[in-house]
Each structure stands twice: as C-alpha cells, then as structure tokens.
Amino acid sequence: MAEIRDGIDFRQLAPEFADTTALVDQGRRMRQDLFNPPNVRGWPGGAAWISTETLLMRREALARLLSGIPADRPFPAEIGPRVVDERAPVKVLAPEHPAFTTPNRIGEADFEGWVQERFLYGLSTFDPQYVPMLESADPGEAPQPGGQVIARLGKGTYVYTAYAWFRQLPAGVPGAYRLFANLLGLGSRAGPGD
C-alpha cells in the first residue's frame, strides 16, 4: 500500500523557482493555498486532502513541476525581456491570422498612441507549438517575437500576451481595444496556429 503524504510537502521546492507565484496559484487551485491554511494546525493530513476533484490537478501539477514547465504555460517557454518604448515599431508576423482579421483588421495604426510600455516580459525562447504573432524591440535591440504567441490547446486556443493591456485599455487606446477584442474572440474561430 502506498504511503499518503501530506499535500503541502512540495512547498519546500518553491525557493528553487524564480516565479513562485505560479506555484502558489497551483496550490490554491488544488484547495491548498500555501499561505492561507484552514486553521492554525494547517491542512488535514493523510487522505483527507485528496478528492476526486483535486487528484488529477495534483497529478498534473507534479508532472509540470518535475518537467520544468511552469503551471501558467502549457508548453516550455522562458520569460524574457521587456520592450519599454511605447513607440517601438510592431510587426504583425501572421497578418491573415484571425487575431488580426476578425472582427477587426489590425494594421500599423492600431499600435499608435500606446502609453508607457509596448510589452512586459515576453517569451525569450518558446516551444514550436507556440506561434509568434507580433514582433517588437526597443531601439538598437534585437527583434522580440515572444511578446504575443498563440498555441492550440485541445479544442481551444492558448494566448500568451505580454503587451501592456493594463495600461492601454484604461488609457482608451483604440488599437488596443480592437486587438484585444480579436483575442477574446479566438476561442470561437479556427485559424493557422489557432
């Protein structure tokens, strides 16, 4: 008979990860918020923390932890640089993809008038299952194609976007609204790399 260990044993691994936020979020999804136990004794031991609802999540989390794939991304990828110049040119790498055609045709004008940054923490390296959608760079820097990537994931679409929506949308940047609307609609459409 296999020994059932307390579920929180994996917390000792957290310092090895640069982004512990993903690890904490994964624990929360498994009903084990690392910094918010149910009482001063902590979580119940033994089989009490295992349920049919969380067992598969726990198995998946362990597989991701051992594979090195962060819990917030479906395929391997490394977080990379930012593009801080909000006027940095943006190149659409897949102009016929639904992300740039439906419902809005996205062009150069949609990237005008952005505020503060172009994108934060794009992907520097990423699995071929991700399709790069946009490319940008600060002046004098190499082009960064990992600011927005899209991947098929089961019957759905996974979008990693590092573009500064949290700055553009409140500022009322029209092109940001148009592009964001296209991204929201991707789940209902199919396209290359979508």
The 10s digit of each residue's pLDDT in 102-147 is 999 999 999 999 999 999 989 999 999 999 999 999 999 999 999 9
With a cut of 80, say whether residue 194 has pLDDT above it. no
- Are the C-beta atoms of residues 141 and 163 closer than 8 Å to each other? no
What is the rounded end-to-end Cα distance, in angstroms, of the chain? 45
Q: Is the pTM value of this prediction over 0.75?
A: no
CA distance 38 to 8: 13
What pLDDT, on a 0 to 100 scale, did the predictor assign at position 79? 87
The 3-state secondary structure of 46-102, one letter per residue: HHHHCCHHHHHHHHHHHHHHHHCCCCCCCCCEEECCCECCCCCCEEECCCCCHHHCC
The widest CA-to-CA distance across the chain, in whole angstroms, is 64
State the pLDDT confidence band at 1, using cuts at 50, 70 and 90. low
Give pLDDT, residue 38. 78
24, two tokens = 């904490």
As a 3-state breakdown, the chain gives helix, strand, coil percent values, each rounded to 5, of 35, 20, 50
pLDDT beyond 60 at 98: yes
Which of these ranges, 48-57, 92-101, 120-129, has the smallest mean pLDDT? 48-57
Average pLDDT, the chain: 81
Q: Any idea where the domains of the chain sit in the sequence? A: 7-67, 77-188
Token pair recorded at residue 116: 């503060």
Query: Quick one: which of 113, 128, 85, 102 has its CA closest to 184?
Result: 102
What is the tally of helices (H) and strands (E) in the chain? 4, 6
